[in-house]
Amino acid sequence: MGMTMTQKILAVHAGRETVSAGELIEAQLDLVLGNDVTTPVALREFEKMGATEVFDRKKVVIVPDHFTPNKDIHSAEHCRQVREFAVDQDIENYFEVGEMGIEHALLPEKGLVVPGDVVIGADSHTCTYGALGAFSTGVGSTDMAAGMATGKTWFRVPEAQRFELTGKMQPWVTGKDVILHIIGMIGVDGARYQSMEFTGDGIANLGMDDRFTMANMAIEAGAKNGIFPVDEKTQAYVKEHAVKPHRVYEADKDAVYEKTHRIDLATIPLTVAFPHLPDNTRPVAEAGDVKIDQVVIGSCTNGRMDDLRMAAKILKGKKVAKNLRCIIFPGTQKIYLQAVREGLVEIFVEAGAVFSTPTCGPCLGGHMGILAKGERAVATTNRNFVGRMGHPESEVYLASPAVAAASALTGCISSPEEL
């Protein structure tokens, strides 16, 4: 019986010829990731395990990004713990404020994840690296601790759903609209425990930044991972960034899928997810008159160059709506600098937006843009759960950078076509 792309990667890392869905396996890890929220808890468990040393100091990555630059004394204490551990263990890939970025934007950019890798991260959006043809998935802190101690972890081999993409997207439509559309179609538990494998000749029309956005949100459909085949665009990306060799895997012709969805990219409209679940989607054209107080552009979902360029294109020479806050935060320092060089930051500031240092900040309601009771935001982030960005009675609407920027100008959910 044939294997999916995910199953092939897992089989090799489990030292096996084949694996099949439902089996429990132990796999070798190429990378173990943690952040400033999950690592302190992992360190407690690491110690309880009696571990004294990480399995490989080059294969552990720690990125303090959630409450940094430190929001308060508690977060400063967490970051200090994490920093001391990184220094003590001589962790090569510990990224301090000033060189850090949002973890899932940073790791691919630093070339730390390559096609064929198996990566676990104590952060649910670790699934982002599927864009590169790697198997990566989110786990908890105890799993991170065990991974750091032993260099391996257990997995239940997932079934898969295939998303066969054809055609080309309409103007302004991006990977964000595609993934929101798919989540709306299958639901927030539509791919629970499973892999979402994207295939089809439509993929050639998706840039790497679109693919990162889509793989990033696989977890919002409950998936274990989302994964893309490795093509010329991936190879070019890897050539530019990778710091280690990679391996390309392809699904077998007779791989078994629970379901196959055929999607013509040309039929996907600009899409927005209404509160309070990412699957509560509708076309922007049918959003109605939703007045908003804040726009947030950035995060590990949409804080890359394509995203900032798209926002700048719309905001250029215009002003954000009166009494509306527009907060833009890039994924990494490199993206920050590139945005400065390309003149994007000037466009943002002149439009009346805030341009922040890379941080998770507003995305998880941490700091740098919390919503008050009854306020509404359009955000390019990935979750619109109750209380996600602040008060439990505030609301988050998920959309692409183009829709978010257009909405910032009008003060209500808008399509860039209307401007």
- Contacts with ligand SF4 by CB under 6 A lie at 66, 102-104, 123, 125, 299-300, 360, 363-364, 381-382
Residue 412 is labelled as binding a ligand: no
- Residue 300 binds which one of other proteins, ligand SF4, none, with CB within 5 to 8 A depending on kind? ligand SF4
Residue 300 is labelled as binding a ligand: yes
Least Å from the CB of residue 33 to ligand SF4: 10
**Residue 365's closest CA among 386, 398, 387?**
387
CB 292: neighbour CB atoms within 10 A?
23
145 versus 230: smaller Cβ distance to other proteins: 145
Beta pairing, strands 152-156 & 24-28? antiparallel
One-letter amino acid at 385 equals F
Q: How many CA atoms lie within 13 A of 61 on its CB side?
A: 25
Closest by Cα among 170, 218, 213 to 193:
218
- The least distance separating other proteins from the CB of residue 25, rounded to whole angstroms, comes to 10
Q: How many degrees, rounded to 5, is the angle at CA 43 between CA 30 and CA 56? A: 30
Residue 66 contacts other proteins per CB under 8 A: yes
Place of tokens 């392809």: 250
Report 148-207 residues binding other proteins (CB under 8 A).
Answer: 149-150, 154, 188-189, 192-193
102 or 378, CB closer to ligand SF4? 102
Residue 93 is inside which H or E element, if any?
A: strand 93-94
Is 79 annotated in a binding site? The answer is no
By CB under 8 A, name the one of 27, 31, 37, 339 that touches other proteins.
Answer: 37
Nearer to ligand SF4, 105 or 314 (CB): 105
Q: Indicate the residue among 321 and 389 with the shorter CB distance to ligand SF4.
A: 389
Size of residue set near other proteins by CB under 8 A: 53
Side chain identity at residue 284, one-letter code: V
- Smallest gap, in angstroms, from Cβ of residue 376 to other proteins? 17
CA gap 310, 296 in Å, rounded = 14
SS3 338: helix
- Which of positions 104-133 make contact with other proteins (CB under 8 A)? 121-124, 126
Q: Measured from the CB of residue 191, what is the shortest distance to other proteins in angstroms? A: 10
Neighbours of 373 (CB within 10 A): 9
Q: Which is nearer to other proteins, 38 or 301 (CB)?
A: 38
Contact between residue 200 and residue 214 where contact means Cβ atoms under 8 Å apart: no
Q: Which is nearer to ligand SF4, 2 or 392 (CB)?
A: 392
3-class DSSP assignment, residue 137: strand
Q: Which two tokens stand for residue 304?
A: 């890359």
**Of 145, 312, 347, 351, the one binding other proteins by CB under 8 A:** 145
Q: How far apart are CA 395 and CA 276, in angstroms?
A: 7
Binder of residue 74, out of ligand SF4, other proteins, none (CB less than 5 to 8 A by kind): other proteins
299, interface contact from ligand SF4, other proteins, none, CB < 5-8 Å by kind? ligand SF4
User: Rounded distance, CA 251 to CA 403, Å?
Assistant: 35
Tally DSSP H helices, then E strands, for the chain. Answer: 13, 18
For residue 332, what is the DSSP state?
B
For residue 19, CA distances in Å to 16, 27, 68, 116, 130 come to: 7, 11, 41, 16, 19
What does the block give as tokens for 418? 């209307």
Query: 2 touches which of ligand SF4, other proteins, none (CB within 5 to 8 A by kind)?
Result: none
Q: Of these, 72, 232, 254, 286, which contacts other proteins (CB under 8 A)?
A: 72
Q: How far is the CB of 336 from ligand SF4 (least distance, A)?
A: 15
Nearer to other proteins, 101 or 121 (CB): 121
For residues 227 and 221, give the distance between their C-alpha atoms in angstroms, rounded to a whole number.
Answer: 13
> Residues 2, 343, 374, 387: which binds other proteins (CB under 8 A)?
387
Contact set with other proteins (CB under 8 A): 24, 37-38, 40-41, 44-45, 48-51, 66-67, 71-72, 74-75, 78, 121-124, 126, 138-143, 145-146, 149-150, 154, 188-189, 192-193, 219, 222, 224, 277, 364-366, 370, 383, 385-388, 390, 392
- Provide the annotated binding site for [4Fe-4S] cluster: 300, 360, 363
